[in-house]
Amino acid sequence: MLKMFDLSGKRALVTGSSTGIGFALARGLAAAGATVVLNGRNEARLAEAVERLRAEGLSVDAMSFDVTSPSSVSAAIETIEREHGPIDILVNNAGMQRRAPLDQFSHEQWQELMRTNVDSVFLVGQAVARFMITRGAGKIVNICSVQSELGRPDIAAYTATKGAVKMLTKGMAIDWGKHGIQVNGLGPGYFKTELTEALVNNETFSAWLVGRTPSRRWGDVEDLVGAAIFLTSSASNFVNGHILYVDGGVTATL
């Protein structure tokens, strides 16, 4: 039975995987047997991530490209398919956060969030899916968020982007399911990463969050790995258009 979770022989692309959740997911998929192509715009940071994973004996490569640029995405995906091999698994992880009261949120900030969090999922997802369609198989996981369901003060724009990713995930599953492709979302709750360090260190917020979370703790990035392996392996062959929240129960309670 455990063979259905084995990713040996599969090739995965994980966007935004130099650090944080993306790095943890890349490491987890590689440990499950996949050859993983890491992506990021900072080439030095990307090279460091590859070196760390190779030192652990994992099979990884790197491809630095801008996930918000149609031409860059198209060229990069064609290069990976031609020079590295077919992309069997795509994890659309690249994303960002901007905090401000909505009435003070600039149009430039709005556009930046939309390009990074939504356009990238469309662009990379479409480019990879075109190859998957010809092969009649593929796994796509889009990183959503508890903010795909719930709001918080000063992050209305971010919530809008993650709600859009949730519905885009469902749309992808509907359009591409007939081609043997499963498209699902992975929705992290509050996790300890470089991007949330200020919140983790904020005693008031951290106490509120832990009290609000049934599991009574922050998430560790390793908590996401099992769900990612499930959604990218044959174990989830009849799971399509689903958002799997890994949030310690935050979305289950008021």
Look at the pTM and tell me if it is higher than 0.85.
Answer: yes
Active-site position among 158, 176, 190, 218: 158
CATH of the domain spanning 2-246, picked from 3.40.50.2300, 3.40.50.720, 2.40.128.690, 3.50.50.60: 3.40.50.720
- Of 118, 97, 133, 236, give the one whose Cα is nearest residue 167: 118
Query: pLDDT tens digit string along 144-171?
Result: 999 999 999 999 999 999 999 999 999 9
Q: Is 158 a catalytic residue?
A: yes
User: What's the rounded mean pLDDT across residues 109-119?
Assistant: 98
Model confidence band, residue 175 (pLDDT cutoffs 50, 70, 90)? very high
Determine the angle formed by the axes of helices 20-31 and 225-232, rounding to 10 degrees: 60
Ordered alpha helix ranges (H), 136-245: 156-176, 197-201, 203-212, 225-232
pLDDT at 254: 86
